[in-house]
Amino acid sequence: MTSTVAQAQPVSPVRTYQVRTYGCQMNVHDSERLAGLLEIAGYRRAADGADADVVVFNTCAVRENADNKLYGNLSHLAPRKQSDPGMQIAVGGCLAQKDRDAVLKKAPYVDVVFGTHNIGSLPALLERARHNREAQVEIVDALEQFPSTLPAARDSAYAAWVSISVGCNNTCTFCIVPALRGKEVDRRPGDILAEVQALVDQGVLEVTLLGQNVNAYGVSFVDPETPRDRGAFAALLRACGGIDGLERVRFTSPHPAEFTDDVIEAMAATPNICPTLHMPLQSGSDRILKAMRRSYRAQRYLGIIDRVRAAMPHAAITTDLIVGFPGETEEDFQATLDVVEQSRFATAFTFQYSRRPGTPAAELADQVPKAVVQQRYDRLIELQERISWEENRAQVGTTVELLVAAGEGRKDAHTARMSGRARDGRLVHFTPGASPVRPGDVVTCVVTSAAPHHLIADGALLSHRRTRAGDAHEAGIKPKTVGLGLPGLGVPAPQASVSGCSL
């Protein structure tokens, strides 16, 4: 250990870091873990706009443009790396897991490549690369440590991600995630609730439960002695309702094939479960759903939506849609438009099919021409924009409770508004007036107008509640979580026997 007393040795400056994230919420949360690991190792987050000593790319491999974006951004750092050899670049996440050694072939100036299963290795790999003066590539094919056992430097004082599982057991033909994230492994409920409680104790008001397929939770617990429990997810939602101070609970993403009525009942009966549901549809054509290996059909999907709305009439339902899957005909696409029309989604995340090497769909015949995909995509966007605007206009005149957010409204400075999320997830831009409202506070207001992607509340606030989360945001304090005593994977190491009295 280096002495802090000796004055003859110069003190090394603290190295700074920056994590750049691509992709889904799982990656966003993994980046919080990477930041936590680096801070525990003595690094400090670089100031906004400042050059960092270590730049970490946490990558996505779901779509082709993710590859292009990564290598383009890496090339922008090449001149700086050449002028400052002490600066380090690390590439992790799904694309690193997929490409492995190819990352160094395309960007030989990268110092560290690590995968989805060993994010805890990053600090050691950086140190090894610096010491050995050569790139370090470490990709493992199975999860070494459940990510939630790692420290996390959270991005928000008021809202937090909580992983309930990693991996996926589905075999959707368009998706490469199972090959990169592995089979589903679930955390024990007590471990999840302990993490939620720790966050609430630090002022967090809202948590989002994360999993590749959250409603399959209970299929494969970390503890092999814990049997499968098909009702585990509904029970977890109800248990979240018993955590004092936890005001909002969201989850993403469920799979329609495993969406059960006990989850709907738990959502409706538990006051802090938000009336919102993100449930990927992907296609409204039964033929295409079969080709995608999505083990449900359009009528089952619509039936779930009907039951959700019967239990929670004002629930906002959102979805994912893919246009141009191989073999999609005009009739298939029309079926998607029909289901979208019937579903009345609050919003939809729409994607043009991206051919990913290593997925079964990449080898299918009848790849749809790009021009046809674009034309269909534009028609789908036009339909969903109309529906979103109609659904949002129906909110005008309603009273909404907002958790005030930072960075949600790009034009807030120009309009003198602030922004927040309603309980159903809708984005609302509101006028705070003379009230010193802070991100993390809770306000209520009346919706005065609407646009396809947001609501506006320009009247006086009906109420404003200052919160501990607002205090923390104002003070620049963000919650941190550490291992919380959560288990690693595999058989625990044997403990030495202790005789007599031990403190």
Which amino acid appears at position 231 of this protein?
A: G
Q: Is 131 exposed, middle or buried (0-12, 13-18, 19+ CB in 10 A)?
A: exposed
- ∠ CA(442), CA(447), CA(451), 5° rounding? 115
Residue 229 neighbours by CB distance under 10 Å: 16
Q: Report d(CA 127, CA 125) in Å as an integer.
A: 5
Q: Report d(CA 130, CA 87) in Å as an integer.
A: 9
- ∠ CA(266), CA(269), CA(270), 5° rounding? 80
Q: Does the annotation flag 274 for ligand binding? A: no
Q: Report d(CA 172, CA 158) in Å as an integer.
A: 35
Instruction: Order the strands of the 399-405 sheet from edge to edge.
Output: 449-451, 454-457, 427-430, 418-422, 399-405, 442-446, 463-465
Q: Which of 282, 278, 317, 311 is nearest to 298 (CA)?
A: 282
Task: Report whether 425 contacts 273 (CB < 8 A).
Answer: no
Task: Report whether 283 contacts 336 (CB < 8 A).
Answer: yes
Beta bridge partners of 160: 207
Q: Report d(CA 24, CA 60) in Å as an integer.
A: 8
DSSP per-residue string spanning 248-265: EEEEE---GGG--HHHHH
Task: Report whether 469 contacts 454 (CB < 8 A).
Answer: no
Q: Running DSSP on this structure, what letter comes out for residue 407?
A: S
Q: Is 173 exposed, middle or buried (0-12, 13-18, 19+ CB in 10 A)?
A: middle
| Residue count of the chain | 503
Q: Does the annotation flag 501 for ligand binding? A: no
Q: Does the annotation flag 445 for ligand binding? A: no
Q: Report d(CA 256, CA 235) in Å as an integer.
A: 18
Q: Does the annotation flag 240 for ligand binding? A: no
Q: Which residues are annotated as a binding site?
A: 24, 60, 94, 168, 172, 175
Q: Which residues are annotated as a binding site for [4Fe-4S] cluster?
A: 24, 60, 94, 168, 172, 175
